[in-house]
């Protein structure tokens, strides 16, 4: 029977370091008793406690002990290893010891923060420390391996976050692939008229950036395209992109739109997606005048040629010699290799139909805030006129906040931007129509730069703010002045009364929600979602744009509701993280790979089909399994499966885990 007790560097001399983490740990775990206990464990040469182990003096303590007490193993009992394992490995390494002669114990997240009985929390900490001490004795020195990083990057989503991230990295000289599902980039921001709180025109600030993307030599822009498959790992992702057919040859179309003019449909009849159905388009169309790329699209669902094959094809005639129209185009796929990926897939707006008592879809003059943005927009379906469906100018407008936000029936979170865009719309509607505007709010949230000032300004302009959750929107008139109006029934919680406010137009400020396919996208990129469905960041404070999958970063509202400045700032942060990664040229990978001990392997092939990365191959010459370290991601599935124990895993050796089991249970024996 073979047991690996060989320590590789002499008899174990372990240093155990217990962190107080201020009172985070010390307030619940008796750190003095824990340290005294650790000192009694076999192999422990030094045990100390300190206020903040991760601080410079804390790390210096470890380094000087390694030198002075000739320590060859270190255990730190502190916060989560996911937070600081790296830090302490660095300290161990700085003292000239292999960084893997180290084991970290979480006595904060797994102990002091979740328990209420100091005696029990201390007992648990002792068990965990004992396990780590028994485990670290078996640790071996390991080499980190590094692999080259592909310098190209992928940005998924061409809204303002994706655009900004792509430009930042392209300007830094990286080749960027920007993949957008819609026919044009621009995202939600391209639909806005003015932006709060400064009221600068969204198009004026966005379109130059869109153009820059379209013309940047370092950006490959694929719109009307979706990521289909992601393989590989940090620094070396292989991505398959599905490109939907536009039925337009991109290199030949110049965006002159003569084909649209010439279409056999004299009138536009198809509801226009970009204008949320408020306007109409033809089967061949340009999403909006400043679209990037400036290319028309043919919608095969409504195009006569696709439906009957008998169209006169006046569009092809109009295109003439350019010959940019191609009805035979098929979906195609592109394969690219990138080192890092930024997800900027954005959000969707709340479907106001889900709240029947607000009358959206029932009463034609109930609009969503985004529809009103399009009405206000000079390039919108009404040329910037805020008019009702019958063309009248509204004289009284009610804006309902928190539609689908802060509501346990829909979404409990605050969507962050609705107060501000509601106040902005109130101002713009009043500016355009002179209407009386009423805002119905639960709380006004204006914590951003210049937000409160903007709110005060709009208050002073005479916009009404009524504090209360609207109970109902109806057309049930109970008095002559309510006739022909929509009545907003609300409890005014400041005045302490139920009010009925008759208006011509109701605007619903809907919640921001995760994209409908967020779950599928999350799986595609192997990242996590929060319970609400937003992409989950690695750490809410210290790694807010990273994910749990190395090399994949988040930007914009796909991570949670955000306004434009925050989306742009996060896009810059994500770009910086991605740049730091690809600029390093090489990336160190955790050495926790699996390996086959050739002498022990019987060649039974049990492991071969189990590896999702095809890292295990059967060598016909030796009749044994072999693991290609560069392909192994260190999950350990094959290690657990090997029926004769011939496969092992660095850092997660059987003996190490058995030592941990024995350690946590020593009190039970």
Q: Which of residues 620-639 bind another protein (CB under 8 A)?
A: 623, 633-637, 639
Q: Which is nearer to another protein, 492 or 653 (CB)?
A: 653
- 232 near another protein (CB under 8 A): no
Q: Which is nearer to another protein, 575 or 647 (CB)?
A: 647
- 240 near another protein (CB under 8 A): no
- The token pair that represents 262 in the structure block: 């010439």
CB of 106 to another protein, least distance (A): 8
> What is the contact mask toward another protein in residues 481 to 520, using x (rule: CB under 8 A)?
----------------------------------------
Q: What are phi and psi of 258, to 5 degrees?
A: -65, -30
Q: Is the dihedral of CA 564, 565, 570, 575 positive or negative?
A: positive
> What is the contact mask toward another protein in residues 541 to 580, using x (rule: CB under 8 A)?
-------xx-------------------------------
- 22 near another protein (CB under 8 A): no
The footprint of another protein on residues 134-163 (CB under 8 A) is 134-135, 137-138
CA separation for the pair 159, 500 (Å, rounded)? 40
Please identify, among the stretches 2-10, 200-208, 419-427, 485-493, the one whose residues bind another protein according to the rule CB under 8 A: 2-10
* Binder among 215, 493, 526, 628 for another protein (CB under 8 A): 526
Q: Is the separation of the CB atoms in 590 and 180 below 8 Å?
A: no
* Binder among 110, 205, 278, 442 for another protein (CB under 8 A): 110
Q: Which is nearer to another protein, 325 or 527 (CB)?
A: 527
The footprint of another protein on residues 42-61 (CB under 8 A) is 42
The footprint of another protein on residues 594-623 (CB under 8 A) is 599-606, 608-610, 612, 618, 623
CA separation for the pair 463, 452 (Å, rounded)? 15
* Binder among 3, 217, 267, 330 for another protein (CB under 8 A): 3
CA separation for the pair 635, 310 (Å, rounded)? 58
Q: Which is nearer to another protein, 312 or 539 (CB)?
A: 539
- 641 near another protein (CB under 8 A): yes
271-276 contacts at long range (C-beta below 8 A, 24 or more positions apart): 272/381, 274/191, 275/374, 275/380, 275/381, 276/191, 276/368, 276/370, 276/371, 276/374
Pick the closest to residue 276 from 369, 359, 371 (CA basis): 371
| Residue 85 DSSP symbol | H
Burial class (CB in 10 A: 0-12, 13-18, 19+), 266: exposed
Pick the closest to residue 101 from 9, 4, 5, 3 (CA basis): 9
Q: Which is nearer to another protein, 27 or 255 (CB)?
A: 27
Please identify, among the stretches 69-77, 184-192, 199-207, 530-538, the one whose residues bind another protein according to the rule CB under 8 A: 530-538
* Binder among 536, 557, 574, 589 for another protein (CB under 8 A): 536
| Residue 536 DSSP symbol | P
Q: Which is nearer to another protein, 30 or 127 (CB)?
A: 127
- 229 near another protein (CB under 8 A): no
* Binder among 116, 328, 479, 621 for another protein (CB under 8 A): 116
* Binder among 529, 569, 576, 631 for another protein (CB under 8 A): 529
Helix (H) or strand (E) holding 484: none
Q: Which is nearer to another protein, 21 or 324 (CB)?
A: 21
* Binder among 53, 77, 131, 487 for another protein (CB under 8 A): 131
Q: Which is nearer to another protein, 215 or 602 (CB)?
A: 602
- The token pair that represents 634 in the structure block: 């260190």
- 23 near another protein (CB under 8 A): no
* Binder among 27, 81, 255, 544 for another protein (CB under 8 A): 81
Q: Which is nearer to another protein, 306 or 652 (CB)?
A: 652
Q: Is the separation of the CB atoms in 617 and 625 below 8 Å?
A: yes
Number of residues that this document lists for the chain: 669
Diameter of the chain measured on Cα atoms? 96
CB of 629 to another protein, least distance (A): 15
CB of 527 to another protein, least distance (A): 9
- 645 near another protein (CB under 8 A): yes
Q: What are phi and psi of 304, to 5 degrees?
A: -65, -40
CA separation for the pair 269, 277 (Å, rounded)? 11
Q: Which is nearer to another protein, 25 or 185 (CB)?
A: 25
CB of 536 to another protein, least distance (A): 6
> What is the contact mask toward another protein in residues 316 to 355, using x (rule: CB under 8 A)?
----------------------------------------
The footprint of another protein on residues 283-312 (CB under 8 A) is none
- 655 near another protein (CB under 8 A): yes
601 Ramachandran zone, left/alpha/beta (phi>0; psi -120 to 50): beta
CA separation for the pair 402, 422 (Å, rounded)? 10
355-359 contacts at long range (C-beta below 8 A, 24 or more positions apart): 355/403, 355/404, 355/410, 355/508, 357/471, 357/472, 357/473, 358/400, 358/403, 358/470, 358/472, 358/473, 358/506, 358/508, 359/473, 359/474, 359/486, 359/506
Write the CA distances from 506 to 284, 348, 363, 372, integer angstroms. Answer: 33, 21, 9, 10
């Amino acid at each position: 029977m073979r047991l690996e007790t060989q320590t590789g560097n002499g008899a174990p001399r372990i240093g155990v370091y217990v962190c107080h983490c201020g009172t985070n740990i010390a307030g619940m775990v008796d750190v003095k008793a824990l340290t005294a206990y650790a000192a009694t464990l076999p192999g422990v040469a030094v045990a100390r406690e300190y206020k903040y182990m991760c601080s410079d003096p804390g790390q210096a303590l470890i380094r000087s002990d390694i030198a002075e007490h000739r320590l060859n193993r270190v255990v730190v009992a502190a916060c989560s290893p996911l937070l600081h394992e790296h830090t302490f490995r660095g300290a161990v390494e700085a003292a000239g010891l292999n960084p893997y002669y180290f084991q970290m114990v979480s006595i904060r997240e797994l102990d002091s923060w979740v328990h209420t009985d100091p005696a029990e929390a201390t007992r648990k900490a002792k068990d965990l420390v004992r396990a780590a001490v028994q485990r670290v004795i078996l640790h071996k020195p390991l080499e980190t391996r590094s692999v080259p990083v592909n310098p190209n990057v992928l940005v998924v989503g061409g809204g303002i976050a994706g655009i900004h991230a792509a430009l930042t990295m392209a300007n830094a000289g990286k080749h960027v692939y920007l993949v957008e599902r819609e026919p044009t980039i621009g995202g939600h921001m391209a639909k806005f008229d003015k932006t709060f709180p400064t009221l600068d025109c969204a198009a004026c600030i966005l379109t130059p950036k869109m153009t820059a993307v379209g013309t940047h030599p370092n950006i490959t822009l694929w719109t009307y395209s979706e990521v289909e498959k992601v393989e590989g790992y940090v620094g070396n992702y292989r991505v398959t992109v599905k490109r939907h057919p536009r039925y337009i040859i991109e290199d030949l179309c110049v965006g002159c739109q003569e084909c649209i003019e010439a279409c056999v449909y004299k009138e536009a009849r198809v509801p226009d997606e970009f204008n949320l159905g408020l306007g109409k388009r033809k089967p061949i169309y340009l999403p909006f005048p400043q679209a990037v790329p400036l290319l028309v699209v043919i919608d095969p669902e409504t195009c006569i040629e696709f439906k009957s094959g008998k169209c006169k094809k006046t569009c092809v005639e109009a295109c003439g010699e350019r010959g940019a129209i191609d009805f035979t185009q098929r979906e195609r796929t592109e394969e690219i290799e990138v080192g890092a990926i930024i997800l900027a897939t954005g959000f969707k707006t709340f479907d106001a139909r889900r709240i029947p008592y607000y009358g959206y879809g029932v009463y034609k003059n109930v609009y969503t805030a985004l529809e009103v943005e399009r009405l206000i927009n000079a390039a919108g379906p009404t040329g910037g006129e805020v008019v009702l469906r019958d063309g009248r100018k509204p004289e009284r407008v009610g804006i309902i906040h928190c539609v689908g936000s802060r509501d346990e029936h829909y979404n409990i979170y605050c969507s962050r931007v609705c107060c501000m865009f509601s106040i902005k719309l109130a101002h713009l509607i009043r500016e355009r129509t002179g209407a009386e505007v009423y805002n119905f709010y639960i709380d006004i949230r204006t914590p951003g730069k210049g937000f409160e000032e903007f709110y005060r300004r709009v208050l002073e302009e005479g916009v009404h703010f009524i504090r209360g959750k609207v109970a109902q929107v109806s057309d049930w008139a109970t008095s002559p002045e309510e006739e022909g109006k929509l009545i907003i029934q609300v409890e005014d919680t400041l005045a302490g009364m139920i009010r009925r406010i008759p208006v011509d137009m109701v605007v619903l400020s809907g919640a921001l929600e995760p994209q409908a396919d967020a779950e599928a996208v999350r799986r595609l990129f192997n990242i996590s979602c929060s319970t609400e469905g937003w992409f989950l960041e690695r750490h809410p404070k210290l790694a807010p744009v990273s994910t749990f999958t190395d090399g994949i970063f988040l930007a914009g509202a796909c991570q949670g509701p955000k306004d434009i400045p925050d989306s742009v700032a996060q896009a810059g942060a994500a770009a910086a993280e991605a740049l730091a990664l690809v600029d390093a040229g090489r990336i160190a990978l955790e050495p926790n790979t699996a390996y086959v001990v050739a002498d022990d392997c019987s060649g039974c092939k049990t492991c071969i089909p189990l590896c999702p990365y095809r890292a295990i191959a059967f060598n016909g010459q030796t009749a044994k399994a072999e693991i290609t370290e560069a392909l192994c991601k260190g999950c350990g599935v094959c290690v657990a499966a090997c029926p004769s124990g011939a496969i092992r895993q660095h850092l997660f050796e059987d003996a190490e885990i058995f030592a941990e089991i024995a350690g946590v249970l020593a009190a039970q024996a």
